[in-house]
Structures are given as structure tokens and as C-alpha cells.
Amino acid sequence: MGKILRIGLLIVIVVLALGFWWRYYFVFGEGVKAGTLNFFVKKGYVFKTYEGRLIQDGFKSTSPGTMQSNEFEFSVTSDSIAAILERNSGKEVELRYKEYLHAIPWRGMSTYVVFEVLKAEEGTAKQPVPYQ
């Protein structure tokens, strides 16, 4: 009876570990986003994490009849990537990210985690609209 209980306990532990990995560490997708880096901060009560927001060109609508800007909120785990982004606030950046199914407090508040900065450059001056 004790052997069956140990095997059953081992199976439960393995299933729980796989479920935790799937929920918090499985990379659901990878991609690249480009836009103007709106802000980049280090914040948190217990776990200090880097959080940022990228404003992309264009508009999106979550409900009919409304408009809002395309915002991409992300977290950064690497201090070297954070240092690059801190120096490029307000500039056009291109970021490579991983998307997870759920956030973990020590990884950041977002399910999107940036792991590479592809480019960072001064924003281009907006051309005036001819009919303005």
C-alpha cells in the first residue's frame, strides 16, 4: 500500500509541475513590435520589475464607434536590455518579445517579455497634413 501511495504522490507532483510550467513558462509565441517608446520604469512592491509601453502607429477600436491608440505594454527581465530602453524613451524602437500564457510577479506584470532591442532611433518628424 505504501508503494502505491508513493507512486501516486510522485505522479501528482509531476502533473502539478508540468501544469505550472505550461501555465507560466511555456512560450506561447514570439514576435516583433515597433513604435514610439512612451515610458519605461522599474516598479513593484516586492519584486522590482521593468515595465514599458510602446505606442504604435494607427488606431484600434475595442467597441464600435470608439478609437484609441495601439499600445503595447511589456516587461523586461534583462538589466542590459533595460539600460538600452531607459536611454531611448520617446524614440522609435523595434523590440523582439516572447508571449507567455500568464504573468509571474518576478518576471513582470505583462505576459509580453522583451528580450532584444533590434533598433532604437530618433522619431521621424511628422509631415503636416496638406488640408490642415
pLDDT in the model for residue 123: 52
How does pLDDT run across 17-46, given as a tens digit for each residue?
A: 999 999 999 999 999 999 999 999 999 899
C-alpha cell at position 21: 510550467
- Region of 16 on the Ramachandran plot (φ > 0 left; ψ -120 to 50 alpha; else beta): alpha
> What value, to the nearest 5°, has the Cα angle with vertex 36 and ends 88 and 70?
150
pLDDT in tens, 83-118: 999 999 889 999 999 999 999 999 999 999 999 999
The predicted pLDDT at position 66 comes to 67
Q: Mean pLDDT across the chain, nearest whole number?
A: 87
The CATH fold of domain 27-121: OB fold (Dihydrolipoamide Acetyltransferase, E2P) (2.40.50)
d(C-alpha 61, C-alpha 20), whole Å: 34
> Residue 122 carries which DSSP code?
P
Per-residue model confidence (pLDDT) at position 61: 64
What are the residue boundaries of the structural domains of the chain, listed by start? 27-121
Query: What's residue 60's pLDDT?
Result: 65
Give the pLDDT score at 81: 94
Distances (CA, A) of 70 to 45, 89, 123: 28, 17, 17
Higher local confidence (pLDDT), 103 or 120: 103
Question: How open is the CA angle 60-64-65, to the nearest 5 degrees?
Answer: 85
Tell me the C-alpha distance between 19 and 53, whole Å.
30
Does residue 16 have a pLDDT over 60?
yes
**What's residue 33's pLDDT?**
93
Q: Is the pLDDT of residue 67 over 80?
A: no
